[in-house]
Structure 1
């Protein structure tokens, strides 16, 4: 590893003594100007983009792009606050998704990132940060170090966000600057070899508190439970917020994230295989033979301008770019003995960039005796992607290893073929309109529609291949009603559509019609009269069409004629039951299957989708007595059996239950200690799958953390 020890040492040496010896005025100007944001609590009232007290949020802007009470939103929405990440010792965003209810893990691209998850039965690769798309190309798995709240939207979100999957998506709200100065230095390590250091600093840069900042730093590295799988990660997120006057606020936010990690395809599941290696076994090389460098940069410039007490103009621009390059080893085919796997050595370079511009106008007014909250917006996006992959020979005899006793010191084979060398651009322009109407004291409606035009260009640079260009339009409406049955119980219904462009080229050399989804949802929202606890439940039915499937005339190509259907039930809970007791989690039942395909029989289960899943995090923190400051928690995650691939003869991943034992102790107002035991009963399980690979979950792991705040 190249820089991890240096990065970790730098973070660990920013000790309380060093900080204490430097008054605020004496901080280096370069540090002061590198980050910041705005206070999100005004008179102790929760904002839709700000901190949450405990585990239960009351407001959100992700589902409507307006500051709306969750109890009055006609859609299933879960908010995972920062406290959940802190109490569970989470280091990645997907650790928080585990407690959102019904969100499953799928292909993580060999440990490189959060490239896919399942929600309501469908894979989804679209997600957002402060309302801007960030899953373009192959970004790093988002880290937990700068998350304020994670908001999961179930069902299509295309009306507000454009191209997306019909099962749902999520929006990350990043940490916002506070005017009150505060610095927190943290460190985590576990018995599998991980070491991690973080810094979170915020405060005002002027006497009036109009110019505020936040700076988050991350350094992580070390070994894992997988043999020869070491990694390193660095991140810096500076944010600067400027209240220009009483009506205008501008926020500049950036992030640089570096991740160096092997392409760890996990455990093989090839046809004819005589068994499965242990979860520690690595078949995919070590050192520079298997190491990818994933570099990502992001810049957001956001603004809000209050035209008057009722109308607000807001928007911004985001630019992001990234690369993924290096060497890797993957499987070809299994020999007849059922244990010798042919592999290929490969090198790849992926590069991408994306520009997204948004402008929204929000207003509240009365018309025809009804109260309206009107949102209008325009959006422009320009996305570019380049890919080249070179591989060594294929076949079961090439570069072979015994999957139960792999010898990883073989010389690299020559790169003899180029299976992929292409580039793609996607430019879209959209306008959307949404109206939230109070039809009566108890009945509210939400209607919206988005009109989007996109132009897509695909260039295949391989000899004898051609590219294509296409333009198309997409109209994605949605409508919802919510009715207040009692002071604590609301009933709602909604219907919505989604679209998402398909990628690649057909046998004829052209592109494909976009995927289209339609969804229907009926649910209830209950909250206790003291607003400490909320319980939401929903029934849904979703159909996705124009899914890519094998071309019946040539199996090396695809056609957009497939269809899949998902229906089910989900239940979600979040609450601060008492000042001591917090709880969050959910249950989901999902029936997801193929309903039309050229080669896969109808009724085939969709990959990575369990019929039943359950997660629940309980935490009790003593408020007085000798145990004051001690928090004890239990996290439980149950996942039913799942198909490894969407094929009738797919391998099956067994169901599992993982129990995490969590604890923290507030040693003083400044010092907090965490001691957690993840996977307490050492359950052996597989988190998700891709093609002929499955990703094993970690064994029992003890993790220690310390944070000093001043």
Structure 2
């Protein structure tokens, strides 16, 4: 797909996309390909294949973009019956779960490279950073799609992992009234209700409101969860060319902090996967997230678009938990009791100017951006360690709850302050009908400090980084693309070394070579990509000062990704992926050189297929299913000394799971759905931090839903 010079297409100034700037918002690119479009509630006859990614900040169609991008559309979310981000991860190639902080947040590695294990993954919400702070598992009630941007994103977004970044795009107001209510019930006491309402209020103002309330009894003993989500949004057309958009999200998630099960030596399965090893008396830990975004966009007469955005986020974790600390040979598990009081505030502002011009027969799509944010994080934890007089232990074979609980004492009390100013530029060049060049760079200037209130010591650092990227696409035919790209990334390391000094920032370098194919009707697309990534300045043990770290480690990731998604014919749509990923430690002062990273498989793959048709009476139905495979993964880091001594590796076994999905549209506005997860009730383990904190996968679960539109 090529565009003639000076084609008047409204630029995509930011992750909210041009659809948010005009009354034609319902005509999303992926839905316009099909005759039937449902805009609220669970969709039907939508698409798996998307043509553009808002997070790429360019009008280049995905087929022309010199980068691998995987988009989980709203149709795929609905076909999977997904209500949270974790439900879709197995269907995105190259994604592996990491430490999820006892079920209190999402955490993944893309292309085998995780972020800070104590913070969670870096993510975007409508193009604004949303990974700073303490983020509850993401609910999908107010989400339109999820964009997995593979490779470095630092040239646009700054601090991030070189393996990739995901951008969550929220649902936007529509200019035609539409409303839907949903109710779900299922295994393990699941109860969930949701509302999606949108429409205009007058000629210049439109709203959208998504609400969800959920109560899960939980499939593990004593581990239930409750959550409430409120996601309002509005679009206000101040003039024909000026639009003000607001997006909000208020989320509360409450659940016991659950570190999972333990392994005996290298053996899993010694205790039931349902067994809880904490204390029910601790009650729930509460995670609160509040997000508000305002974006003012203006289309100038010259065709350029200006945009100013403001994002304010506050997050917090509050509650008490009991967590495993050591396991004796007789099955007695000693535990710590911890009280957490964590809060953060994040205020970010962005200004962008985007437009097109032509010089010397070359068409440019230029983006200039300025970003400033301030972030404060207050972390206070009290901890009670086991002692001879009060071991605070539990027998993993015959657990007895309700014993006297020790009183936690001060352990961590810090205040982190971050300030950052960044400038970025991007140019998407149409060099010739068959050639595209994407070039960009971002310069970041940080001012960061960490105050340890217990010692009174403040550790400052002022790192800076310049993050370039360059990509080239060749379009030899209307359906095929060959591309290559290179980019750099960085991420500041928090904490201090033995001298009280700040660590050097992690840096990454990535190379990618790939090809893309898109059918002539643009309903199905595929990508094959080869990549190599090297990351330096990873924290590792300080050989001269026990208990301290230095930024001297190095990691390498290389692999092959294959993705396919789209509408095969009138009845079938499919989503498939297969990834081979080799990740190893290439330099470290403690861990095994040549060893793997935690929770990263060498092979993972998935297939989701959905069949739709109509009954003789006109009622529609759909039936389908999914299969996912995750290869063997490292379950606990092995030191070089252990490797030299021949100590066996603790690994999480590979697993394959299946799911069944289906729906019956009883009337044009009422639909009944069925979702069966882990169809064959396989026993598997999704991630591990060490032998004492192993997260088991959910047992078979059946969910029945009823959706009504009005």
Could you tell me whether the CA contact under 8 Å between 1:37 and 1:178 is conserved in 2? no
Q: Does 1:610 align with 2:604?
A: no
Q: Does 1:128 align with 2:124?
A: yes
CA gap 1:650/1:558 in 2 versus in 1, 3 angstroms: farther
Aligned to 2:623: 632
Could you tell me whether the CA contact under 8 Å between 1:544 and 1:563 is conserved in 2? yes
- CA deviations 1:355-398 (Å, max 9, x no partner) are 11111110111011101100110000111111111111236872
Q: 1:411 aligns with which of 379, 404, 421?
A: 404
Deviates more, 1:473-482 or 1:315-324: 315-324
- CA deviations 1:207-236 (Å, max 9, x no partner) are x2x200000011111311100001110010
Q: Does 1:194 align with 2:190?
A: yes
How big is the shift at 1:283? Answer: 0.4
Deviates more, 1:555-564 or 1:263-272: 263-272
Could you tell me whether the CA contact under 8 Å between 1:165 and 1:498 is conserved in 2? yes
Q: Which runs of 4+ in 1 moved over 6 A?
A: none
Aligned to 1:142: 138
How big is the shift at 1:411? Answer: 1.6
Q: 2:256 aligns with which of 244, 253, 262?
A: 262
Q: Does 1:549 align with 2:512?
A: no
Q: Does 1:695 align with 2:695?
A: yes
**5 Å matches for 1:200-279?**
200-206=196-202, 208=203, 210-269=204-263, 271=265, 276-279=270-273
Could you tell me whether the CA contact under 8 Å between 2:459 and 2:495 is conserved in 1? no
Could you tell me whether the CA contact under 8 Å between 1:326 and 1:347 is conserved in 2? yes
Q: Does 1:299 align with 2:304?
A: no
| SS of equivalent residue, structure 1 residue 110 | helix
Within 2, Cα distance between the matches of 1:395 and 1:494?
55
Aligned to 2:671: 672
CA gap 1:624/1:273 in 2 versus in 1, 3 angstroms: closer
Could you tell me whether the CA contact under 8 Å between 1:467 and 1:505 is conserved in 2? no
CA gap 1:606/1:184 in 2 versus in 1, 3 angstroms: same
Aligned to 2:661: 662
- CA deviations 1:231-256 (Å, max 9, x no partner) are 11001011011011111111111111
CA gap 1:315/1:40 in 2 versus in 1, 3 angstroms: farther
How big is the shift at 1:185? Answer: 0.5
Aligned to 1:371: 363
Within 1, Cα distance between the matches of 2:699 and 2:215?
18
Aligned to 1:25: none
How big is the shift at 1:44? Answer: 6.7
Deviates more, 1:587-596 or 1:642-651: 642-651
How big is the shift at 1:310? Answer: 2.4
Q: State the TM-score, normalized to the length of structure 2.
A: 0.91
Could you tell me whether the CA contact under 8 Å between 2:31 and 2:47 is conserved in 1? no
Within 1, Cα distance between the matches of 2:450 and 2:265?
34
Could you tell me whether the CA contact under 8 Å between 2:367 and 2:427 is conserved in 1? yes
Q: 1:286 aligns with which of 266, 274, 280?
A: 280
Aligned to 2:48: 55
How big is the shift at 1:645? Answer: 2.6
| SS of equivalent residue, structure 1 residue 172 | strand
**5 Å matches for 1:81-480?**
81-114=73-106, 116-124=107-115, 125-206=121-202, 208=203, 210-269=204-263, 271=265, 276-287=270-281, 289-308=282-301, 310-337=303-330, 339-394=331-386, 398-415=391-408, 417-463=409-455, 466-480=457-471
How big is the shift at 1:626? Answer: 5.1
CA gap 1:486/1:228 in 2 versus in 1, 3 angstroms: same
Could you tell me whether the CA contact under 8 Å between 2:30 and 2:47 is conserved in 1? no
- CA deviations 1:260-281 (Å, max 9, x no partner) are 1110101123658796321100
Aligned length: 666
Deviates more, 1:392-401 or 1:124-133: 392-401
Could you tell me whether the CA contact under 8 Å between 1:37 and 1:177 is conserved in 2? no
Deviates more, 1:357-366 or 1:328-337: 328-337
Q: State the TM-score, normalized to the length of structure 1.
A: 0.91
Aligned to 2:488: 497
Within 1, Cα distance between the matches of 2:136 and 2:250?
11
Within 1, Cα distance between the matches of 2:411 and 2:528?
46
CA gap 1:199/1:553 in 2 versus in 1, 3 angstroms: same
Within 2, Cα distance between the matches of 1:270 and 1:459?
39
- CA deviations 1:489-521 (Å, max 9, x no partner) are 100000000000101121111210100000000
Aligned to 2:12: none
**5 Å matches for 1:493-532?**
493-532=484-523
Could you tell me whether the CA contact under 8 Å between 1:38 and 1:177 is conserved in 2? no
* Structure 2 unaligned regions, length at least 5: 1-19, 116-120, 640-647
| SS of equivalent residue, structure 1 residue 62 | helix
Aligned to 1:6: none
Within 2, Cα distance between the matches of 1:218 and 1:650?
43
| SS of equivalent residue, structure 2 residue 102 | coil
Within 2, Cα distance between the matches of 1:308 and 1:46?
29
Aligned to 2:685: 686
Within 2, Cα distance between the matches of 1:43 and 1:553?
62
CA gap 1:627/1:269 in 2 versus in 1, 3 angstroms: farther
Could you tell me whether the CA contact under 8 Å between 1:249 and 1:305 is conserved in 2? yes
Could you tell me whether the CA contact under 8 Å between 1:295 and 1:324 is conserved in 2? yes
Q: 1:589 aligns with which of 572, 580, 597?
A: 580
| SS of equivalent residue, structure 2 residue 590 | coil
Within 1, Cα distance between the matches of 2:272 and 2:584?
31
Within 1, Cα distance between the matches of 2:350 and 2:392?
50
CA gap 1:376/1:307 in 2 versus in 1, 3 angstroms: same
Q: Once superposed, what is the RMSD of the aligned Cα atoms? A: 1.9
| SS of equivalent residue, structure 2 residue 219 | coil
Could you tell me whether the CA contact under 8 Å between 1:197 and 1:219 is conserved in 2? yes
